[in-house]
Amino acid sequence: MAELQRCVLASGNAGKLRELGNALVDLQIELIPQSDFNTVEADETGLTFIENALIKARNASSASGLPALADDSGLTVDALNGKPGIYSARFAATSAGGKPTDSDNISHLLQLMESVPQPERTARFVCALVWIAHPDDPEPVIATGSWSGAIATDIAGAGGFGYDPVFQVPGLNKTAAQLSADEKRALGHRGQAVTRLLDQLKSRPR
């Protein structure tokens, strides 16, 4: 059996670590959270999901000395000119300057969308994954996924996280928060990006 290749995940999110780690098992890649290296989180100064994922990957690789994988994801809403976009996790500003909760962000989104008619409530979840072999890697592996849907008028479902309870899935009369983990993996933006990333990594020299 081939020796496991250790790789740092530019996140401390347990859900992402589990989901992405399971996907990389067949490639003999072991994902380790950046928190194991006391990594200071990167300043996400990019203007796109790909730019921010690359910033996070280079930061984690530099701190750990390992190859790095980073994920930057979010929701884009057509009626809001693509917002919240790269600011999805901090869409609802707080007076104390702290990070808003998922509930805060959803409430803010629904308030902004209150007068938008159903045909104009189209939206997409977007995921960008970046893999680099070392901090200065000039040839990062980049994979993206996009999941089209619409913004519901009410919250439904207790699964998932983020904006899942208000993201209507086309043809299923469900929100993303009402899907099983397998359904979400098969349909979702992150599942698409992971599949494309794996295809590229399989042909990349180790």
- Catalytic residues, by residue number, are 72
Q: Alpha-carbon distance 114 to 109, whole Å?
A: 9
Three-state SS at 198: helix
Q: Are 141 and 193 contacting, i.e. CB atoms less than 8 angstroms apart?
A: no
Edge-to-edge order in the sheet of strand 174-175: 29-33, 5-9, 68-77, 122-132, 141-151, 167-169, 174-175
User: Helix 14-24 crosses helix 189-202 at what angle (to 10 degrees)?
Assistant: 40
Return the structure tokens found at 161. Answer: 């996280």
Q: Are 133 and 67 contacting, i.e. CB atoms less than 8 angstroms apart?
A: yes
